[in-house]
């Protein structure tokens, strides 16, 4: 089995796949009579296709443990997907480049408290993978007509450590 080593999530390394959503390092401006700071426009929400609309949902995920076998990734050709944790538990973010035959070799990241991600439209990625405990997430993605899910199964699985 091929091995993937988990690395810390950062804006620079994740940029080809999407946006890191976090306060750290983001610019802000005061609102509500100076009682609140707005960290503005942290992710590009993408929707396309028939009757496309932006949806906000809540997810509650059971935790996974490392090492973890990865045999499949998915992508959404009609819209981006943003995952913002509502707890301090980390989660695993797996992404893979597009290649002519499907998904390329995956890259795995682990989040720090307060970090979320927005995975751009048509980017291969793993499923939601909470670590450390049951975790709740706010999810912003696309609703509407059309098929917005494609799955790719690797001929040989990977082990994520």
- pTM for the whole structure: 0.94
Q: What's the CATH fold of domain 2-160?
A: Jelly Rolls (2.60.120)
Instruction: Give the tens place of pLDDT for each residue, 36-79.
Output: 999 999 999 999 999 999 999 999 999 999 999 999 999 999 99
Instruction: Please check whether residue 96 is in contact with residue 73, taking contact to mean a CB–CB distance below 8 angstroms.
Output: yes
Give percent of the chain above pLDDT 90.
99
Tell me how far the alpha carbon of residue 9 is from its chain's centroid: 11
Domain boundaries, the chain: 2-160
Alpha helices in the chain (DSSP H): 11-14
Instruction: Please check whether residue 75 is in contact with residue 144, taking contact to mean a CB–CB distance below 8 angstroms.
Output: no
């Amino acid at each position: 089995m091929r091995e993937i080593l988990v690395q810390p999530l950062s804006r620079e390394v994740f940029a080809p796949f999407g946006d890191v959503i976090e306060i750290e390092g983001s610019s802000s401006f005061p609102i509500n009579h100076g009682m609140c700071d707005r960290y503005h426009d942290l992710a590009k929400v993408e929707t396309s296709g028939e009757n496309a609309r932006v949806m906000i949902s809540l997810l509650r995920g059971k935790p996974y443990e490392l090492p973890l076998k990865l045999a499949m990734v998915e992508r959404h050709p009609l819209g981006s997907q943003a995952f913002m944790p509502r707890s301090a538990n980390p989660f695993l973010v797996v992404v893979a480049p597009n290649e002519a035959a499907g998904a390329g070799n995956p890259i795995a990241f682990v989040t720090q408290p307060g970090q979320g991600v927005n995975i751009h439209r048509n980017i291969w990625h793993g499923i939601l993978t909470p670590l450390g405990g049951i975790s709740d997430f706010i999810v912003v993605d696309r609703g509407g007509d059309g098929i917005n899910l494609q799955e790719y199964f690797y001929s040989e699985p990977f082990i994520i450590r």
